[in-house]
Amino acid sequence: MKKIIVVTGHYGSGKTNLSVNLAVKAAKEGRSVAIVDLDIVNPYFRTTDFRDLFAEKGIKLIAPDFANTNLDIPSIQFDVEQLAASEDCLIIDVGGDDAGAIALGRYAESLEKYGDELEMFYVINQRRYLTHTPDEVIKLMYEIEAASRMKHTAIVNNTNLGKETTSEIIEASRPFAEETAERTGIPIKYTVYPEGCSGNGASDELPVKVYVKAIWD
């Protein structure tokens, strides 16, 4: 079955690391995979840091012109609709907040034609600035939806403190994520556990490899 996954969230919530893990997982399942870096806000285009990994796994990386340069206004010259039609799995890593979601809006009508094959994940991290409470993350979620002209289908709880993340920190964030889900009517798809952390066997647990490191690591 074809799958299109759009990944949104606050700056630094862990969207790109989740996107990379989802792409690698789909490739391991033998599916044709493309990952689109639609982050026109961040001038570094972090998914382009993993060109070698993607090439090894047979994953297509699609990024704006002049990614990883100091150009202030990147140029999007690729056809997302064609990628959605041609790949088994298309993952779209969207820029942070509503400003980054504006670029997604140009593809909203084309993507929503895929119905149940389309998922839009809202990544939340309780330990990030301006997203400590359900009120804060819900406000931002609706701003992203307004900018992108698309609706989220699931929440991904990616609460972490980088290298200082523990299983206890993740478990302590569950009430925050559950309240967010209850108030928005959107289910929790995953609770992310980075390498070195283990869960309690809950059905939503998603173990991930930490590909995206802080720039000082």
User: In this prediction, what percent of the chain has a pLDDT beyond 70?
Assistant: 88
Helices 174-184 and 134-148: angle between axes, nearest 10 degrees: 50
Domain that holds residue 65: 3-208
Indicate whether 69 belongs to any domain: yes
| pLDDT per position as a tens digit, 3-20 | 999 999 998 899 999 999
- Provide the pLDDT for residue 216: 46
CA distances from 73 to 17, 57, 165 (A): 24, 30, 35
pLDDT of residue 100: 82
Mean pLDDT of the chain: 89
Quote the pTM value: 0.92
Question: Residue 125 falls within a domain, yes or no?
Answer: yes
For the ranges 33-47, 89-103, 105-119, 130-144, the lowest mean pLDDT is seen at 33-47
> Quick check: 31 pLDDT over 70?
yes
Query: 167 lies in a domain?
Result: yes
Identify the CATH number of the domain in which residue 152 sits. 3.40.50.300
- The H-assigned helical ranges of the chain are 15-28, 51-57, 80-86, 97-105, 108-111, 134-148, 167-172, 174-184
Residue 38, both tokens: 């639609």
Checking DSSP bridges between strand 188-194 and strand 154-157, what pairing results, if any?
A: parallel
b/e for 101-129, b at 16 or more Cβ within 10 A? bbbbeebeeebeebeeebbbbbbbbbbbe
Residue 213 belongs to some domain of the structure = no
Cβ contacts of 20 within 8 Å, gap of 6 or more: 35, 47, 50, 53, 211, 212
Q: What is the total count of domains within the chain?
A: 1
96-100, 103-107, 171-175, 207-211: lowest mean pLDDT where?
96-100
Residue 82 inside a domain? The answer is yes
* Share of residues in the chain with pLDDT > 90 (%): 69
In a domain, 197, yes or no: yes
Q: What integer pLDDT is reported at residue 66 of this predicted model?
A: 53
Q: Could you tell me if residue 216 is inside a domain?
A: no
With respect to residue 7, please indicate whether it lies within any of the assigned structural domains: yes
